[in-house]
Structure 1
Amino acid sequence: MKFTEHRDSNVFAVKHYQPGLVKVNNLTFYNSFFITQHTTHDDWPCTAIEQLTPQLLDPLLAQKPEVIILGTGDKQTFPAPQLFAYCAQNQCGLEVMANDAACRTYNVLTSEDRDVVLALIMPQNLGAAPIDNREKKKRLLFKQGVNRHFSPLITRF
């Protein structure tokens, strides 16, 4: 029996990752951000694992995920143990890994329709590009549920 994956075109999936750049569907992120299956938040102000606090985790926890997949850059770097406890107190797991592994894990979990948040810490010094008007328009259309150019294929990184 042949199985074919059918992804909802309004589900956000990571299509490409390289250090300093992540493509989610047709959106490009250069700075720290977090996403769920149906929302994107490109204004997450955490640029280093040392900056991570319970206050920065609150917007992620507000999404009511089963687990937060936290990408810490090119290398896996663990946050303070108190942050794991804070997530556990809020009935949420916290998994920490390098950004590339976090992107792959997020795609697998969303393909299983799990409630998950992907939060990636993107260092500021990797050539962050400003968001142009065309990119802003794409993000607005995605937030409104319009997705005309999405290909349901999952691309390898």
Structure 2
Amino acid sequence: MKLHLTKAAGNQLITGYGAGWIQVNELRYTQSLIVLPELVIPDWDVQTFSDLTEAHFEKLIESTSGSAKLEVVLLGTGEKHQFIHPKLSRALIEAGIGIECMDTAAACRTYNILMAEGRNVAAALLLSH
């Protein structure tokens, strides 16, 4: 699906997504990634939802520590909506960062809306089931 948004000057915008891929500013990615308004972290080392550990969320915080403080992480859980165990997101909660779980397509759309509103949001997107 191709997405359209007019208010993204200078930011990382999710411009399309489909089975096994996500496009950010017209650059296609085929592995799990993290998208922030100011950068893309293309090497998020998690393949599937069941692979998620506390360390993945700790790495997310470390990877974004040079940026403005995150308000919320949108976790795209793949093709279907799944919830993570609260212990996995403990580092985010302790850092005062919210987390919302949704399927990856919904996370892409929600990220674009929040980013366009000027919110400091991260989309952590899983591409596998």
TM-score interval w.r.t. the shorter chain? 0.7 to 0.9
The aligned counterpart of 1:105 is 110
**Over aligned residues, Cα RMSD in angstroms?**
1.7
The aligned counterpart of 2:125 is 120
TM-score when normalising by structure 2: 0.85
The aligned counterpart of 1:18 is 18
> Offset at 1:18?
0.8
The aligned counterpart of 2:37 is 37
> Does the CA contact (< 8 Å) of 2:79 and 2:103 recur in 1?
yes
* Total equivalences in the alignment: 120
**Distance in structure 2 (CA, Å) of the matches to 1:24 and 1:66:** 21
Would you identify which runs of 4 or more consecutive aligned residues in structure 1 move more than 6 Å?
Answer: none
TM-score when normalising by structure 1: 0.71
> Does the CA contact (< 8 Å) of 2:54 and 2:90 recur in 1?
no
Q: Which runs of 5+ in 2 are unaligned?
A: none
**Distance in structure 2 (CA, Å) of the matches to 1:9 and 1:112:** 12
The aligned counterpart of 2:48 is 48
Q: Which runs of 5+ in 1 are unaligned?
A: 125-157
- Larger strand proportion of the pair: 2
Deviations 1:31-87 (A, max 9, x none): 100010011111111111221112111232232311000001000111112123332
**The structure with more radius of gyration:** 1
SS in 2 for 1:46: coil
- Look up the equivalent residue of 2:83 and give its one-letter code: F
